[in-house]
Structure 1
Amino acid sequence: MTRDKNPVQADPQLLQDQELTQKLLNSWNQLDQLNERTPMPSEEDMFQMLVHHKRRLKHKLWKELAWLWILAAFVIAGSLILMHRELILYIGIQIALGIGAAGYLILTSFYRKKEMRGSTSE
């Protein structure tokens, strides 16, 4: 039996593998070059970024705190007006809020204990 293929001809699969390998190597080389081009920021730059970030967080904190105080002022003013005009309604709302807060605390405590028991038994 003789082979019809010429031994000089390369296998198409082998050529495709070599081509893909070359493309992959080129991509890796490009990534290596990009990695070499991005220098690490200096210590002073890192410190400046940290200071700027702290400043932004502090500003955001004060802004949120101001909104909280404004909201609290409206709630207290409304509560005082309600207490002055309708004492019975004010007392009812206070009792309902107290019961709701106590219920919330009891439920969260119950679920937290249940979670703790579940995690220790596993």
Structure 2
Amino acid sequence: MSQSAYIKFVQGSSVETLTLEEVQSKLMHYREQTALTGSQLGWDYAEAAFPYTFESKQDERWFYLKGINPLYKYIIFGPGETTSVDGKKVPCVQVVLPDGATHGDKAKANELCKYMAKQLQAELTMFNGRTIYYNPRK
């Protein structure tokens, strides 16, 4: 059974909503940062930190990351709308682990979700249902 995590753009988030292209650019930025870290360390850290390629079908509502080695298979990303902890409808980015996703996919999806939520000061509901608040609150 597939699992979902939600990066929710609530009050205090740095953006109101993200388009599919903006989600993809955030992930590209993550990959570039890890490549720079690897060049400073003198090894190919980018491939270990981001072992995926960007793939897309004709559908403009989502894209997926396809693993480049057997330890990683797929992670799906798509903008949408969901309910926040407050009970309000809010825009979000849904991250889905489809059936057949590996433990490596789940660990990497958790890492990518935390990275994006922290960068965007968003509310993150993880795959296990727990919520992490990166948005400023009183």
Relative contact order (C-alpha < 8 Å, sep 6+): which is higher? Answer: 2
More strand by share: 2
Q: TM-score, normalised by structure 2?
A: 0.22
Q: TM-score, normalised by structure 1?
A: 0.24
